[in-house]
Chains A and B, each alone.
Chain A
Amino acid sequence: MQVKIALSQIYPHMGNLERNLEKHLQHIEEARQHQADLIVFPELSLVGYYVMDLVSELAQTPSEHDPIFARLLKESQTIDMMVGFIQEDSRHRYYIAAAYLSQGKVVHIHRKVYLPTYGIFDDARYFSAGNRLQAFDTRFGRVGMLICEDMWHLSSGYVLWMDGADLLLCHSNSPTRGISASEDGRSTVGRWVDVILQSYSAMFTTYVVHVNRVGYEDGKNFWGGSSVVNPNGNTVIQAPYFEETLLMHSIDLAQLHRTRSVNPLLRDERATLVQAELERILREQTQ
């Protein structure tokens, strides 16, 4: 089965929901013209990243009662999408969230589990942490979503893999750090993310899609470089650095059986052993 994926590498403008919605709709339309099945937007694509004290006024509840989601749900009748937003729960806690919309419905919401709060990051000052890592069924098979820092933890991908995800959709607001001449033309963080994505795909024998934003917030720039990595650990397509782009790429889900015939890592994986050892380790650590 071929799935045509559109990677929407946009510049979400901090705090400007209307302008960002317009950009989403524009890329959705363009993706549709290319017969894309799924479009993936960056982390917090509707609101921008360093929202700071604007969190509460930018928060949304993803349903047809929210005018922006109502519009996106309508669009999802003909194209699936992964969109980033701030979710407010019924008790007024705020989460960095990713929604998967399909056929007019909210299929799944992932809340960012790992909130980076170090260096240039301050997520945990403003947001609550999600506490679930769950795969979900789509018309393309089982999918898992991760948000930025989530994918820097091997365990996140592992849990989704065990939960049946054959397609990992990751999105980020990754600012450039490090432009040493000793790197191979990439930024330090760009090289690091590529290694993570390739490691995920090679070790889990899955497809990995990553969409990173571009643009600037104060002095920080977001490098883009969105990519698709196939189940053999090869980066098969990558968007340019720094430029707004809509990148189209078809993945062949039949590659999963070919790769897993050669490398039956999933077949041989021993989750119960991992569980038993983790339980032992955690038990010993708390003694």
Chain B
Amino acid sequence: MPNFNVEMPTHILPRIAINVALAEQILVGFIRDQINKAGLSRAVLGLSGGIDSAVSAYLSARALGAENVLVVRMPYRTSAPSSYADAQTVIDDLQLPTATVEITDMADALITRFPHMSNLRKGNIMARSRMVVLYDQSVEWGGLVMGTSNKTEFLLGYSTIYGDSGVALQPIADLYKFQVRQLARHLGVPSPIIDKAPSADLWDGQTDESELGFTYDAVDQLLYLLVDERYTVDEAVAEGFPHDFVLHVWRRVKANHYKRTMPNIAKVSDRTIGHDFLYLRDWTGR
């Protein structure tokens, strides 16, 4: 596991700060627009007790009305009880319709067949089990499955393909974790959710930052320079980031691009989906 536990620059942070009022307007409008274009008025959202799904829940409730946002809690037997309780504070604050679907039985049906399964494999099975539950609930509820991924984890590939990335729309996937925190404060997300250490909560004591080997503040600044500002690796190093850290992060971004794109289609015909059959996803014209 990498560990870049060294002093990192902080002077880029002010440049990352967003206008939260504009962000709220754009994202609330986006959610409403996407749901309307699908001919629907409702959404389904997996609520973990973490900041990303909380922010997505607040935005969805403002866009669609709380009564139209079904939040689903999907604990596994190792999930921290505090996560469940944190999710409850969001539900209480927004007065959201709620369902709880434990994934222990469905995930363990596979996990127990492989006694030496790694935490990575278990975590992926849990993430994909939750995707299955959400898409099933979306049929009954008549709503789209709301994404809760942020830009940092999406770029780093710190996500499960066809798990947490298996959603219908992504309202906060262009916001770094730092910006998600800013927006969370603006939206009134309960502060214990904003202040606690981010965790995928796949096993006891797991935190994102210990698993990644660096802090969100450090990597958000670096990703902002590399992605948004188009800095070269050398230019990012000149800003004070360790060279091996910059290379490690940039390699992760490249190596995980497959998680952010549709699978390649082998072209043989005169007109091929994705290559030269080109329409917006919003093609419906509604």
Contact = CB atoms under 8 A, between A and B. Distances in A.
Nearest to A221: B26
B23 interface: yes
B: interface residue count bin: 20 to 34
Contact of B19 (A19, A54, A183): A183
Contact of B26 (A50, A53, A176, A218): A176
Contacts of B26: 176, 179, 221, 242
B36 to A, nearest CB: 10
Contacts of B279: 52-54
A218 B19 contact: no
B25 A241 contact: yes
A53 B272 CA distance: 12
Given A53-B277, A242-B26, A14 B19 contact: no
A217 B34 CA distance: 9
B116 interface: no
B281 interface: yes
Contacts, number: 66
Interface stretch (B10-18, B68-76, B122-130): B10-18
A217 B25 contact: no
Interface in B4-34: 14-15, 17-23, 25-26, 29-30, 33-34
B286 interface: yes
A185 B30 contact: no
A179 B33 CA distance: 20
Given A15-B283, A242-B26, A52 B19 contact: no
B18 A180 contact: yes
Contacts of B15: 180, 182
Interface string A207-232: 00000000111110100000000000
B278 interface: yes
B285 A217 contact: no
Interface string B21-51: 1110110011001100000000000000000
A187 interface: yes
Nearest to A13: B285
Interface in B39-95: none
Interface in A87-121: none
Interface of A: 13-16, 19, 50, 52-54, 176, 179-183, 185, 187, 215-219, 221, 241-242
14 contacts: A13-B286, A14-B285, A16-B285, A52-B279, A53-B277, A179-B22, A180-B19, A181-B18, A181-B19, A181-B20, A182-B17, A187-B19, A217-B282, A221-B26
